[in-house]
Amino acid sequence: MRAFPEGFVWGAATAAHQVEGGNSSSDCWALEHANPSVFAEPSGDAIDQYGRYADDLAILAALGLNAYRFSIEWARVEPEEGVISMAALDHYKRLIEACWTRGLEPSATLHHFTTPRWMARQGGWTSPKIADAFARYCGVVAEHVGDDLASAATINEINIPALVRRSRMLPDFSEAHRKAAREALGAEPEVFFMFAGTEGYAERAIDAHRKAREAIDAASPDLAVGMTISIQEEVSEDDDNARAALKERRAAIYDPFYDAAQDDDFVGVQTYTRMMTFRDGRTGRPKGAEKTAMGYEYRPQALAAACRDAAAKTGVPILITESGYSGADARRCHFIQGALEGVHKAIADGVDIRGYYYWSAFDNFEWMSGYGQKFGIIAVDRTTQKRLVKPSAALLGAIATANALDVEEGETVVLSETGAPVGTG
Ligand code: BGC
């Protein structure tokens, strides 16, 4: 048996906008309903986790996991500037209590891509005002639930806006898209987090992270706080130009965030693939590589490479806050197994990795791609909202229960009519 350290965190992750449903005070909702929109479809009811969280947590616990990563939605907690919804804060308090009751340690992210419309209309993540506004909201949340959490991340994938800009992954906004965004949201589409990597982004975002951490520390001094970073395995062609381009890429999308993370309690590592920098400066999949449904290279080994890089550059403990695969479930099982073998080896080599959250607990709203991409270990029929546990969920649950690799095939959780677990079979 290849065992993991005692107390290793085994979880699955989601984000509010992708699972809760009805997040209508957020900028993302407005952009989904712009016409034309760069979103394939609107999020709508998502998987109604706002209403169904208790049953969902029961499934995760029945699988054998011991942790859940979710996000708290700023647009619900502060739907208008300075107007705090106690009902929303109470909802998250109940969700957190429900985690502990079921043996799942709760890890909350304070910002996972979506921002209240009122803030978006003031420039969102392109505005220097974001730091104070975000920190104020984080302080309010920490006062209410900070002491009940196991860990908190301020900003999810703080570097993604820089990466999206640099990799030319920004949607091609036509004049019609811009006009529709102005009508639906009252702002240019760039105010939305993922698109906000304009001049000065890294400074703005790091300022927001630091102020948010201070506000959380003041309200809940013992809570472990960090940020999460999108970190892929980065390689280059064997060529001087390619190596120089990769160095420049690292300086733009990793280095400032790694530096800032040195002051934190942990760093959240989020890895999906390997990126190759070519001699012409472009980045992409290595030639001939197997593709996932997202079009990424299928590369479970990328996770350990990213953890080793993050550990060397930040010197703080690592929580793997996301690692996931979109596509057929048999391949997902292979992906989870392969990724964890690398993590196990990295830990044996002395890398301080404290936990692993698979992305995602459930098939959910995959941003601009809509519901077509399936990252979940649990499927959801969005007409009936019934949950269906996939074999990969049983596998991850068995690994978590044994706290080790080389497990027997996991037991399948049997669900009732409502989707709640009734036993194992
Ligand atoms: C994000 C998730 C997203 C996942 C899969 C990560 O970048 O944090 O919200 O669903 O990747 O694309």
Query: What's the pTM?
Result: 0.97
Q: Do 80 and 117 contact (CB within 8 A), yes or no? A: no
Which residue, by CA, sits nearest to atom 5 of ligand 1? Answer: 366
Distance 1 CA to ligand 1 centre (A): 31
Q: Which residue has the tokens 């299928």?
A: 298
- List alpha helices for 167-239, DSSP H: 175-185, 201-219
Q: Do 279 and 241 contact (CB within 8 A), yes or no? A: yes
pLDDT tens for the chain, residues 1 to 425 = 899 999 999 999 999 999 999 999 999 999 999 999 999 999 999 999 999 999 999 999 999 999 999 999 999 999 999 999 999 999 999 999 999 999 999 999 999 999 999 999 999 999 999 999 999 999 999 999 999 999 999 999 999 999 999 888 899 899 999 999 999 999 999 999 999 999 999 999 999 999 999 999 999 999 999 999 999 999 999 999 999 999 999 999 999 999 999 999 999 999 999 999 999 999 999 999 999 999 999 999 999 999 999 999 999 999 999 999 999 999 999 999 999 999 999 999 999 999 999 999 999 999 999 999 999 999 999 999 999 999 999 999 999 999 999 987 766 666 766 666 766 66
Among candidate residues 78, 157, 190, 322, the one labeled active-site is 157
Cα separations in angstroms, 351 against 118, 120, 343, 348, 418: 42, 39, 9, 7, 42
Residue 325 DSSP SS3: coil
The pLDDT tens digits for 290-305 are 999 999 999 999 999 9
Residue 312, class by beta-carbon neighbours within 10 Å (0-12 exposed, 13-18 middle, 19+ buried)?
exposed
Mutate to test the pocket of ligand 1, among 366, 371, 377 (most ligand atoms within 8 A of CB): 366
Two structure tokens written together for 65: 């996991």
Residues 6+ apart with CB under 8 A from 397: 62, 63, 64, 65, 410, 411, 413
Q: Do 54 and 42 contact (CB within 8 A), yes or no? A: no
Nearest Cα to Cα of residue 355 among 6, 58, 112: 6
The CATH topology of domain 9-403 is TIM Barrel (3.20.20)
Query: What pLDDT is stored for residue 424 in this prediction?
Result: 66
When computed from its CA atoms, the radius of gyration of the chain, rounded to whole angstroms, is 20
DSSP code at position 150? S
Which residue, by CA, sits nearest to atom 3 of ligand 1? Answer: 366
Q: Do 76 and 159 contact (CB within 8 A), yes or no? A: no
Residues forming a β-bridge with 291: 297
DSSP code at position 221? T
Mutate to test the pocket of ligand 1, among 367, 369, 374, 377 (most ligand atoms within 8 A of CB): 367
Distance 13 CA to ligand 1 centre (A): 10
Pairing of strands 386-389, 378-381: antiparallel
Residue 7 DSSP SS3: coil
Distance 187 CA to ligand 1 centre (A): 24
Question: What is the rounded CA–CA span in Å between residue 74 and residue 141?
Answer: 9
- Nearest atom in ligand 1 to the alpha carbon of residue 230 is 7
- 157 is a catalytic site residue: yes
Cβ < 6 A, ligand 1 pocket: 15, 18, 156-157, 230, 270, 322, 359, 366, 375
Question: What is the rounded CA–CA span in Å between residue 397 and residue 417?
Answer: 22
Query: What pLDDT is stored for residue 419 in this prediction?
Result: 66
Which residue, by CA, sits nearest to atom 12 of ligand 1? Answer: 366
Distance 31 CA to ligand 1 centre (A): 18
Query: What pLDDT is stored for residue 408 in this prediction?
Result: 79
- Nearest atom in ligand 1 to the alpha carbon of residue 113 is 9
Mutate to test the pocket of ligand 1, among 70, 194, 359 (most ligand atoms within 8 A of CB): 359
* Mutual angle of helices 130-145 and 86-101, in 10-degree steps: 50
